[in-house]
Amino acid sequence: MSEWVRAAREAKQEHNALKKEIEGYSYKDPRHSESTDESFRRLIADEVNKSRDFLFPMVEAAYIEQDTDDATALEEVMQWLDVFLLELGLPLIWNESADYRSYMKLIRTDVTVIKNARDLAKILGKMNDQVMHGKSGSVVRKCAQLKKYVSDLLTILKRRRHALGG
């Protein structure tokens, strides 16, 4: 039994959830890894772009209100998302000597990245509703938390790129 098959069986629940998200989810060989990684990165890019879409009207509203502090904070979140998207453009490094632990780590990391990218879009969607209805509280404080969230997600993504020992 290959190391990939062993890991996929061991993490059956996570693996099945990922297969529902990404058709043909598999890292059993370079060809499958490349296809899976490309589909994974496209899925995450879609979620991050949803987050960016929520930011645009908030930035515009801040400028209309001449609230440069909020506008600047929101633009910084947008910049962090842009950095994330640039890093997301880099493919997974596949290594023929990847072992069971590497595959387990990759499966769990993929689940985490998908969950966190979706959570980020939900957070920004809710924040957008609040800002656009004048009930936002401290946008600058929320943006600091969002930058930390994106930074943490970026760190996970960078680790993911090297999860197979590359």
Q: Tell me how far apart the alpha carbons of residues 2 and 20 are, in angstroms, rounded to a whole number.
A: 22
In a domain, 73, yes or no: yes
In a domain, 147, yes or no: yes
Provide, rounded to the nearest whole percent, the portion of the chain with pLDDT above 70.
99
Mean pLDDT of 34-54: 97
Q: What global pTM score does this model have?
A: 0.93
Domain holding 72, by residue range, is 3-161
Q: Which two tokens stand for residue 100?
A: 């069971």
User: What pLDDT is recorded for position 66?
Assistant: 94
In a domain, 14, yes or no: yes
Mean pLDDT of 49-68: 95
Instruction: Name the nearest CA neighbour of 127 among 113, 138, 112.
Output: 138
The tens digit of pLDDT for each residue in 121-133 reads 999 999 999 998 9
Q: How many domains does the chain have?
A: 1
In a domain, 108, yes or no: yes
In a domain, 10, yes or no: yes
Q: Where are the alpha helices (DSSP H) in 22-67?
A: 30-64
In a domain, 90, yes or no: yes
Q: Is 165's pLDDT higher than 90?
A: no
User: What pLDDT is recorded for position 96?
Assistant: 76
Mean pLDDT of 115-141: 93
In a domain, 166, yes or no: no
